[in-house]
Amino acid sequence: MSILHALILALVEGLTEFLPVSSTAHLLFTEELLGIEQTEYVKMFTVSIQFGAILAVVVAYWKRFFINIQWSFYRVLAIAVIPALILGKLFDDKIEAVFEKPLVIALVLILGGIVLLFIDRIFSNQAQIKDQEVSVRKGIFIGLWQCLAMMPGVSRSAASIIGGMQQGLNRKSAAEFSFFLAVPTMAAVTLYSVFLKNWCVDGQELKGISMILSSTENTLVFFIGNVASFIIAFVAIKSFITFLQKYGFKVWGIYRIAVGLILLVLFINQEQPSTQQQKKPLCEVQGTIK
């Protein structure tokens, strides 16, 4: 993967991570359109550049995290992230398998867009609370909503924001709580992908950190990707709150439907993996023999 490709992917990640449009789907389709080979390093890279986006949240709301400290806030986040950690670990392989089915992800984008068309109307007349008032119980429910985003195309941001509104938060507070919840969620996913997960490279199982440090090019790509992701995500966070308060979710619903339809046309003739006998990676084959 070239530095240019890394910058483009980081741009997509930074722009879409905190918007209700599914960063995973946008990254996958960007790789497809640019012809980026789906190597293990590329897969790990698209996950690890979330680290830059995480830092963007922490910097944008640094007073909330480090100055106006409320331990109840940290407790709620710590408990709310548990469902995603458990289900993510249990279904990691099944989730990764969906990445090979772009048509499914395009359909999910469209269905999610239809839902967003009606969200503002559904939650227009409810009593609204601030994110400071989120209880542990409400946090758990929002965390469960976030788990819907394990299906690529749903959008972690959309799922957790809708979950926040379902629990009584207004649009601004729901969006900000979604940002806060992203920090432990994405930090855990990134750390797992870089330091704990075994990636199959040429028949050999390697940790993400080993791939990053295996060459100067890989290290440089990883660093540049995270820096670019941080800068773009920081701007996107600030802009999204203003845009959401002014226009609501309908615009994002229309966007998702339009993008999903375009992607359906682009990938409708793509060869379906199910029609052929899939070859298992050598690491997986060896694992079944042990």
Residue 29 has pLDDT above 60, yes or no: yes
Residue type, 228: A
Q: Which of the pair, 193 or 281, is modelled with greater confidence?
A: 193
Count Cα atoms within 13 angstroms, Cβ side, for 100. Answer: 11
Cα–Cα dist 10/126, whole Å: 37
Lowest mean pLDDT among 19-33, 86-100, 162-176: 86-100
pLDDT-derived band at 277, boundaries 50, 70, 90:
very low
Q: Given this model, what pLDDT does residue 274 score?
A: 42
Per-residue pLDDT, averaged over 156-178, amounts to 92
Report whether pLDDT(289) > 50.
no
Mean pLDDT of the chain: 87
| pLDDT value of residue 79 | 95
Q: Which two tokens stand for residue 183?
A: 């920090």
User: How confident is the model over 83-133, as pLDDT tens digits?
Assistant: 999 988 787 777 767 666 788 889 999 999 999 999 988 887 655 666 567
Q: Where are the beta strands (DSSP E) in 125-221?
A: 198-201, 204-207
- pTM over 0.95? The answer is no
pLDDT: is 208 or 1 the higher one? 208
Asked whether residue 3 carries a pLDDT value surpassing 70, the answer given is yes
pLDDT at 100: 63
**How much is the pLDDT for 288?**
37
Question: pLDDT at residue 14 above 60?
Answer: yes
Strand, coil or helix: 116: helix
pLDDT for 132 equals: 61
Q: 39-69: per-residue pLDDT in tens?
A: 999 999 999 999 999 999 999 999 989 887 7
Provide the Cα torsion 219, 197, 234, 131; round to 10°: -160
Q: Which residue has the higher pLDDT, 264 or 141?
A: 141
**Domain limits at 205?**
3-289
Tokens of 222: 């990883």
Q: Is the pLDDT of residue 250 over 60?
A: yes
Both tokens of 195, joined, read 């330091």
DSSP 8-state assignment for residue 273: G
Rounded to whole angstroms, how far apart are CA atoms 135 and 220? 42
Q: How many domains does the chain have?
A: 1
Q: What is the pLDDT of residue 281?
A: 55
Residue in this structure with the two tokens 């995500």, named with its chain if needed: 233
Write the burial class of residue 202 (CB in 10 Å: 0-12 exposed, 13-18 middle, 19+ buried). exposed
Tell me what pLDDT residue 128 has. 61
Q: How far apart are CA 54 and CA 49, in angstroms?
A: 9
Neighbours of 127 (CB within 10 A): 6
pLDDT of 287: 46
